[in-house]
Amino acid sequence: VKIPPGVHPGQFIRLAGQGMPGHGGEAAGDLYLEVRIAPHKLYRVEERDLYMTLPVTPTEAALGAQVQVPTPGGGVVEVTVPRNARGGMKLRLKGRGLAGKTPGDLYLLIEIALPPADSDAARAAYEQLAQAASSFNPRQHLGV
């Protein structure tokens, strides 16, 4: 079966005349296939939109960066991560979701990936950051 382009989860594909045979000379029925999209290792589907987690380093999130992102079509696009990006922030790539008359969008969910402090240089850099941002309290809203 050739899947028509732009189909989405829950949509039905009709194969004319491929259903149960008809009785008494009647034409055979149609066969309906319900579209389900198998889980993908990168993309998650919500209606016509696709979601992908985009890991960025703390420096990329804080300072902003240009990062490369694979698209469902097979290409790679360069995306601007804005300065002071936070974990959970969504970046939208318009029209890069599922194809169709009105194509969906591709959403990138920012996830901050911490480099491990497993070397003297990395530990020193974290200590320097701790001093530079000593007034930052991520638990302020807890009242402590």
Partner 1 sequence: MATVSVTTATAISASQPLALNELAHAVGADTAWVVQLVEVGIVQVTTAEAPPERWQFSSTDLQCALEARRLERDFGVGLDAAALILDLQHEVRRLKAVLQAHGVR
List residues binding partner 1 (CB under 8 A).
Answer: 1-4, 6-7, 10-18, 29-30, 32-34, 44-47, 49, 51, 53, 101, 107, 109
Q: Smallest distance, Å, CB 133 to partner 1?
A: 27
User: Which bin fits 139, alpha (ψ -120 to 50), beta or left (φ > 0)?
Assistant: alpha
Q: Smallest distance, Å, CB 29 to partner 1?
A: 7
Q: Smallest distance, Å, CB 3 to partner 1?
A: 7
Q: Smallest distance, Å, CB 77 to partner 1?
A: 20
Whether residue 7 contacts residue 47, with contact meaning beta carbons closer than 8 Å, is answered with: no
Instruction: Give the Cα separation of 64 and 61 in Å (integer).
Output: 5
Of the pair 11, 80, the CB lying nearest partner 1 is at: 11
Of the pair 42, 133, the CB lying nearest partner 1 is at: 42
Of the pair 7, 67, the CB lying nearest partner 1 is at: 7
Instruction: Give the Cα separation of 125 and 44 in Å (integer).
Output: 35
Of the pair 25, 143, the CB lying nearest partner 1 is at: 25
Whether residue 112 contacts residue 61, with contact meaning beta carbons closer than 8 Å, is answered with: yes
Instruction: Give the Cα separation of 50 and 120 in Å (integer).
Output: 40
Helix (H, G, I), strand (E, B) or coil at 136: coil
